[in-house]
Amino acid sequence: MESKESMALLQGQAEIWQHLYGVVDSMALKCAVELRIADIIHSHGGPITLRQIALGIDSPSPHIPYLARIMRLLVRKNIFTEHRHPPDGGETLYGLTQTSRWLLRDAELSLVPMVLMRYHPWQLAPLHYLSHCVKEGGTGFKKAHGCEIWDFASKNPEYNNIVNDAMACTTKIVMAAILDEYKDGLGCVGSLVDVGGGTGGMIAEIVNAYPHIKGINLDLPHVVAIAPERPGVSHVGGDMFDVIPNADAIFMKWVLHNWSDEHCMKILKNCRNAIPKKGGKVIIVDVVLEKESTDLFGETPMALDLCMMAYTAGGKERTELEWKKLLEEAGFGGYKIFKIPTLTSIIEAYPD
């Protein structure tokens, strides 16, 4: 009979093996998205055979044995279902799970653009430099690509589109959760500035749900220059580090995690100056990091924090204590955290 120590050592070995080949799980997921496997199954209205999946792949001669091996792993990972013994004695059938429904390209809520961004070689390269970041400081992105992420995006339209598509898909998911769970937080707001709101899609969704709100979309002049007209929304070209338009409330989704504490302090102080001392608030939609989280999203926020380390100069995910310290130093007297059914939380900050 093996000792507890030897069993624990064996368990440790098994976990390292799982980490070693976890990257293959990720590449198999990317493969499924690139081949549009979820879409092919969905187009048939139910589980289908391997040959039917192959017929839907954009290739004159798909390699079915390779496809079978990809599907075997993805079934094991609960991305797809496998019906080994159909009632009619026919071939094995493959179907969708609640997981693969997030891989449908034409679904209202889809994570396909995020998968394509996350596993793109441009996005993976900086993660190979984490040890260099620890030794030397700096960002993995600059070490990998020779410039910071925003400069790279401005010079590379393809990369810029990949990132924008990924951000747009996550915005839809987060906004769905906000509009469903945060009704009381927006109902009493008369005017709202979306800081770093891009072309105004997010503030437009809020105004559509709450027509009484006067929406203001703030972003850099070259960004709002191409923003479409949106009912109830005015576009303002500016810089959040200089001044933020006055409003009852300020809204920021996944903005502050891109910046160092010093940069966040400047942004938050500008937010405080833009809202009323009585009744004003800043609505921050960002991750609240928990070391011992039992949340559905598990360790994802910690992995996201290392991505921020690799991609941005000073960006990070923050614990509640770190948020509290940052808000207090920026002059906010109180805050509340609201959990919503997605990766982020809502942090309301009050000036008094």
Residue pointed to by tokens 């004695």? 89
State in Å, rounded, how far the first CA of the chain is from the last one: 65
Q: Is 44 a catalytic residue?
A: no
Q: In what order do the strands lie in the sheet with 249-253?
A: 233-237, 214-219, 191-195, 249-253, 281-286, 345-350, 334-339
Q: Are 49 and 83 in contact (CB under 8 A)?
A: no
The residue length of the chain stands at 352
- Pair of tokens at residue 249: 């409330």
Sign of the four-CA dihedral 161, 288, 23, 52: negative
Catalytic entry in 85, 222, 235, 257: 257
Angle between helices 201-209 and 157-181 (to 10 degrees): 20
Task: Give backbone dihedrals phi and psi of 300, rounded to 5 degrees, phi first.
Answer: -55, -45
- Pair of tokens at residue 132: 């260099």
Residues 6+ apart with CB under 8 A from 78: 97, 99
- Pair of tokens at residue 323: 């948020």
- Pair of tokens at residue 250: 């300020």
Q: Are 76 and 70 in contact (CB under 8 A)?
A: no
DSSP state of 228: P
Q: Tell me which residues are annotated as active site.
A: 257
